[in-house]
Copies of this chain bind each other. A is one copy, B any other.
Amino acid sequence: MWYTNTGKNGDIVLSSRVRLARNIKDIPFAGKMTEKDELTVLEKLKPVAEKNGLNFFSLKDFPLYEKQALAEQHIISPDMLDNSRHRGLIISPDNRTSIMLCEEDHIRIQCMQEGFDLEECLKNAVEIDNLIEEEIDYEFHQDLGYLTCCPSNLGTGMRASVMVHLPAHTKTGKINSVIRNFSQVGLTVRGLYGEGSKALGNIYQVSNQVTLGITEEEIIEKLTGFITELTENERKLQKELYDREKFVLEDKIMRSYGTLKNAVILSSSETLNLISDMRMGINLGIIKDITLGTLNEIFYAVLPANIIKKYNLESSAERDLKRAEIIKEKLK
C-alpha cells in the first residue's frame, strides 16, 4: 500500500491529505435528508465511479470491523461508522483517493500521498472534482463559493492536512507553543485520530481552519510554509536532544527496539510509542538495520481493526498477542 512508502520529508511527515466538501444541487443537506435523498446521492455517484475505474460500495453492507479498519487508515472518517444513514464509499484501486458519500456533506473527495506532498493531493482531488462536476451540479454560491453543511467549510470546501511525527517537540514541551502559534494563523494541530484525540505515538495532524476568502492554492502555500519550518525545527530539536544526552537517548531508543522485537504482548498505544522511538532512532542513525518503510508497514499492520479484519480476533488480549507476533516477524 502507498502509505508504507516514505515520501518527501518522510523522516517527519508521514502523509498529506486534501479533502474537498461538495453538495449536490437540489438535494437537502444532512440533517434534513430523507432516506430517499441519501439513496439518491449514492445512485448519482455510482455511475461516475464505475465510468472512471473507481470502486463503489454502499457501507450499509459493510461489516463494522471493515469500516473500522478503513477509519484507522484515514480512508473514511469515524462518522462513517454510524449505520443509521445510507453511506457510500468510492475508492481508487490504490487507496490514495476516496470519496465519502453522505458523510457531513453529500460528497467528500479525499486524496492522500505519502510524505509531504499537498500539491499532488490537490491536483488529484481537483481532477476527481472535475470528473464529478461533468455529471452532477454542485451547490455553489457566487460570493460564498461551495456551500457546505457546516459553515466552517464554506468557500473552497477544502481542508488540507499533513500527519507529522514530532517526538522532540513533544518531549521538550515545545509542541504547546506550536499549537498556540499555529492556531493564531488559522491552522489546527490535533492528535492522530482527529479532534480531541491524544497525540498517540507523538503523531499530529496539522490542517487549515479557514476555507473562505482564500484560494485552494493559497491555503496549501501557507500550510506548506509552516510545515516546512516545523519539519526543520523538529529535525533540529531531535539532533539537539541527541547531542545533549546521547547515551540516554540511545538507551531509550534501543530499549524500545528490544521491546518491539521481544515482547509477547503489545497494546496498540504502546506500539505507537515504541514505533515513535524507533522512527527517531532511524532519523538519528542510531538504528541502521530497519527502514522507515518497515516502520510504516508495521504502523498500519498492527492497528486494532486491521488485526480484527485480517485474523478475526475480537478480544483485545488476543490482538495484543497477534500484534507482537506480526511485529516480531516484520523486524526479523
Contact = CB atoms under 8 A, between A and B. Distances in A.
Interface of A: 247-248, 250-251, 254-255, 257-259, 261-265, 321, 324
A254 B264 CA distance: 7
A79 to B, nearest CB: 36
B247 A255 contact: no
Contacts of A265: 247-248, 251
Given A251-B263, A251-B265, A254-B263, 7 more contacts: A247-B264, A248-B265, A251-B324, A254-B262, A255-B258, A257-B262, A259-B259
Contacts of A264: 247, 250-251, 254
A259 B256 CA distance: 8
A250 B324 CA distance: 12
List 5 tightest A-B contacts by C-beta distance, closest first: A258-B262, A258-B258, A251-B264, A251-B265, A254-B262
Contacts of A321: 247
A258 B263 contact: yes
Contacts of A262: 254-255, 257-258, 261
A6 B170 CA distance: 48
A242 B295 CA distance: 32
A284 to B, nearest CB: 13
**Secondary structure of the A side of the interface?**
helix
A224 to B, nearest CB: 38
A314 to B, nearest CB: 17
Nearest to A260: B258
A264 B265 CA distance: 23
11 contacts: A247-B265, A247-B321, A250-B264, A251-B265, A251-B324, A254-B263, A254-B264, A255-B258, A258-B258, A258-B262, A261-B262
Nearest to A328: B254
A89 to B, nearest CB: 37
A262 B257 CA distance: 7
Contacts of A254: 262-264
A285 to B, nearest CB: 14
A247, A259, A261, A262 — most chain B CB neighbours (10 Å): A262
Contacts of A250: 264
A261 B258 contact: yes
Nearest to A253: B264
Contact of A258 (B247, B248, B251, B259): B259
A277 to B, nearest CB: 11
A224 B30 CA distance: 81
Nearest to A246: B264
A53 B251 CA distance: 47
A318 to B, nearest CB: 10
Nearest to A248: B265
Nearest to A256: B262
Contacts of A258: 255, 258-259, 261-263
